[in-house]
């Protein structure tokens, strides 16, 4: 069983509230849910929509064809009507305009009835969402009128499975909390901002601080200062903000002060289309900052991996006093994924480094001797450069303790897909039942030598990326000499949809 339901309207009409009520109802009843959010960068008006995909088995993507549309305005029907299946349904806002600000709640009730949920489940969800508001009675009335206006189309059953729903932003916060983070610094920039909000909500409960400096240059320099003093620090931004941090990242390379950066990509160049998604920032994650110095770049593909990889990132930064970048994007950060899997036990971060107050500790942006004193000596410059290279070799050894890549699908297949990050969900769903093996790269730097072995075993290799130039493909060619000729690239600001991708894979 799989349903794809679109909820659309103007920004400010409460589309996310409808999605929240429906998603929570089905997750609490043991169903798997994937919720995709699409919105322009305006506060009011425009056209916003969510696609809620519901299934009795794990799904991590949405599809092109819709089983139902919940329209909060006329534009939603006009834009998405052609995507509706022949036997699909539309719940129209016009029946419920009298409810004003509770229009979205009335439509939630109507959708719950169509999907076959009992009225008491609806009432409980409305109480959870709106029970503290003064207008609760009117909201409940709207929900009941909406519910009674429809006929049941599907049979809703409680599957009695324990399923949880997570976004990538929540997962960033959970991974940081599991690692006993001391300080999170960020200047708001979509789509990294929600991670800051998630962490800010919990700072008093877990005893860390979230702080917003005046810009991204301040963010990275404050972070290095706090980390130098012994704090476990993480910072967050998107592409434009990350560009501003470039000099600070290079300072990290020379000073060897631990630093973790959450980089949530969006389409560029420039401001681009800021509320949409793209995997265009792999290159800058690998190379930003002048000079040559060690770094680690990790790209999780779902919230569960995000929790684990943030924990690994903080551990590695502390152990090797290096730069670690967690690379994500809008699709992973803001979509909601359901899972029944358990989170691995966090890596214990018991690394002790000498900090100010425990003796003389120096950190500098200049080349320096063993005492931290500035030098301009060619022999010491060579010695320090070689030491940075040796450190990277130690980092490579340590990273092998973690999952640097994953294999999905048919392990004996000769048709190999290569992908990374948020493309994971659509690829895994697309190859279900097909003769494909999917190698998901998690550690971009350092990379696993096993990738070359998998490439050599395959008869046909297909690169799937959400960018214009196939940046992972270029990285693989640089490291292995292997050029991937078959490429499926998407760069319109939208993520892959699994049924669309399945047809493209078949064609290749």
* CATH (domain of 39): 3.40.920.10
Q: Say if strands 209-211 and 233-237 run parallel, antiparallel, or are unpaired.
A: unpaired
- 240 and 357 inside one domain: yes
Q: Residue 327: in which H helix or E strand, if any?
A: strand 323-329
Q: Which helix (H) or strand (E) holds 191?
A: none
Question: Is 159 inside a domain boundary?
Answer: no
Are residues 183 and 46 both part of a single domain? no
What's the CATH code of the domain at 488?
A: 3.40.50.920
Residue 127 has which token pair? 């109480």
485 assigned to some structural domain: yes
DSSP 339-386: E-PPPPPPPP-------TTSS-----SS-B-TTS-B---HHHHHHHHH
- For residue 379, which phi and psi values (nearest 5 degrees)? -65, -45
Same domain, 322 and 420: no
Residues 283, 171 share a domain: yes
What is the model's pLDDT at position 96?
94
Are residues 394 and 409 both part of a single domain?
Answer: no
Closest listed residue to residue 112, CA positions, set 143, 140, 137, 81: 143
- Of 90, 114, 148, the one marking the end of a domain is 148
- 199 part of a folded domain: yes
Q: In this predicted model, what pLDDT tens digit does every residue of 291-350 receive, in sequence order?
A: 999 999 999 999 999 999 999 999 999 999 999 999 999 999 999 999 998 888 888 888
User: Is residue 158 included in any domain, yes or no?
Assistant: no
Q: Which long-range contacts (CB under 8 A, 24 or more apart) does 39-42 make?
A: 39/11, 39/275, 40/11, 40/275, 41/190, 41/273, 41/274, 41/275, 42/11
Residue 161 maps to a domain: no
Q: Which two tokens stand for residue 10?
A: 């103007």
Nearest to 195 by CA among 165, 235, 223, 240: 235
Q: What is the CATH number of the domain that holds 355?
A: 3.40.50.970
> What is the value of pTM for the model shown?
0.96
Report pLDDT for 350: 84
Give the neighbor-by-neighbor strand order of the sheet with 183-186.
Answer: 209-211, 183-186, 233-237, 259-265, 323-329, 295-298, 443-445
67 inside domain = yes
Q: In this structure, are 260 and 376 located in the same domain?
A: yes
Find out whether 353 and 367 touch, Cβ atoms under 8 Å: no
Judgement on whether residues 499 and 382 belong to the same structural domain of the protein: no
**422 and 390 belong to one structural domain:** no
Residue that finishes a domain, picked among 364, 383, 399 = 399
Question: CA 446, 448, 449, 453 torsion: positive or negative?
Answer: negative
pLDDT on residue 131: 66
Give the whole-angstrom CA distance, residue 29 versus residue 55: 11
**C-alpha to C-alpha distance for 415 and 420, rounded to whole angstroms:** 17
Same domain, 256 and 363: yes
Q: Are residues 102 and 223 in the same domain?
A: no
pLDDT values of the chain reduced to their tens digit, one per residue, 508 residues:
899 999 999 999 999 999 999 999 999 999 999 999 999 999 889 999 999 999 999 999 999 999 999 999 999 999 999 999 999 999 999 999 999 999 999 999 999 999 999 999 988 888 887 767 767 888 899 999 999 999 999 998 999 999 999 999 999 999 999 999 999 999 999 999 999 999 999 999 999 999 999 999 999 999 999 999 999 999 999 999 999 999 999 999 999 999 999 999 999 999 999 999 999 999 999 999 999 999 999 999 999 999 999 999 999 999 999 999 999 999 999 999 999 988 888 888 888 888 899 988 999 999 999 999 999 999 999 999 999 999 999 999 999 999 999 999 999 999 999 999 999 999 999 999 999 999 999 999 999 999 999 999 999 999 999 999 999 999 999 999 999 999 999 999 999 999 999 999 999 9
312 and 277, same structural domain? Answer: yes
Vertex 436: Cα angle to 433 and 442 (nearest 5): 115
Boundary-marking domain end, from 113, 148, 183: 148
Number of domains in the chain: 3
What range does the domain containing 119 cover? 2-148
Calculate the dihedral angle through the C-alpha atoms of 246, 249, 253, 254, rounding to the nearest 10 degrees.
80
Same domain flag for 266 and 335: yes
């Amino acid at each position: 069983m799989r349903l794809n339901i679109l909820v659309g309207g103007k920004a400010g009409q409460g589309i996310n509230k409808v999605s929240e009520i429906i998603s929570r109802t089905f997750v609490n009843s043991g169903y798997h849910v994937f919720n995709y959010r699409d919105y322009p960068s305006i506060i009011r008006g425009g056209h916003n929509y969510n696609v809620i995909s519901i299934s009795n088995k794990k799904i991590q993507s949405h599809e092109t064809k819709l089983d139902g549309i919940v329209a909060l305005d006329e534009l939603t029907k006009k834009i998405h009507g052609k995507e509706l299946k022949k036997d699909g349904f539309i719940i129209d806002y016009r029946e419920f305009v009298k409810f004003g600000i509770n229009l979205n709640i009335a439509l939630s009730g109507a959708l719950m009835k169509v999907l076959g949920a009992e009225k008491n489940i609806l009432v409980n969800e409305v109480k959870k969402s709106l029970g503290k508001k003064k207008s609760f009675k009117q909201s409940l009335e709207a929900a009941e009128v909406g519910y009674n206006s429809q006929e049941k189309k599907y049979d809703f059953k409680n599957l009695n499975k324990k399923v949880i729903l997570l976004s990538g932003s929540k997962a960033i916060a959970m991974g940081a909390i599991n690692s006993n983070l001391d300080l999170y610094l960020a200047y708001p920039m979509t789509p990294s901002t929600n991670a800051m909000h998630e962490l800010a909500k919990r700072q008093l409960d877990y005893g860390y601080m979230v702080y917003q400096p005046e810009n991204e240059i301040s963010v990275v320099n404050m972070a290095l200062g706090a980390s130098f003093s012994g704090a476990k620090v993480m910072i967050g931004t998107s592409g434009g903000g990350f560009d501003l941090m470039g000099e600070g990242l290079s300072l990290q390379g020379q000073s060897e002060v631990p630093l973790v950066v959450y980089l949530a990509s969006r389409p560029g160049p420039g401001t681009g289309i800021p509320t949409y998604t793209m995997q265009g920032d792999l290159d800058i994650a690998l190379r930003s900052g002048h000079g040559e110095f060690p770094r680690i770049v990790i790209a999780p593909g779902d919230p569960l991996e995000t929790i684990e990889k943030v924990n690994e990132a903080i551990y590695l930064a502390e152990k090797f006093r290096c730069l670690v970048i967690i690379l994500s994007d809008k699709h992973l950060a803001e979509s909601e994924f359901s899972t029944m899997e358990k989170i691995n036990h966090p890596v214990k971060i018991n690394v002790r480094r000498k900090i100010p107050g425990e003796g003389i500790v120096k950190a500098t942006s200049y080349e320096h001797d063993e005492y931290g004193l500035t030098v301009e000596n060619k022999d010491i410059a060579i010695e320090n450069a070689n030491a940075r290279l040796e450190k990277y070799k130690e980092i490579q050894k340590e990273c092998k303790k973690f999952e640097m890549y994953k294999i999905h699908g048919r392990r004996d297949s000769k048709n190999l897909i290569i992908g990374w990050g948020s493309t994971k969900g659509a690829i895994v769903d697309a190859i279900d039942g097909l003769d494909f093996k999917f190698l998901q790269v998690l550690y971009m730097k350092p990379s696993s030598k096993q990738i070359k072995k998998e490439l050599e075993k395959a008869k046909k290799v297909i690169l799937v990326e959400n960018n214009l130039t196939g940046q992972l493909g270029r990285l693989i060619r640089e490291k292995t000499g292997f050029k991937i000729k078959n490429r499926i690239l998407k760069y319109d600001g939208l993520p892959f949809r699994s049924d669309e991708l399945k047809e493209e894979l078949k064609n290749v």
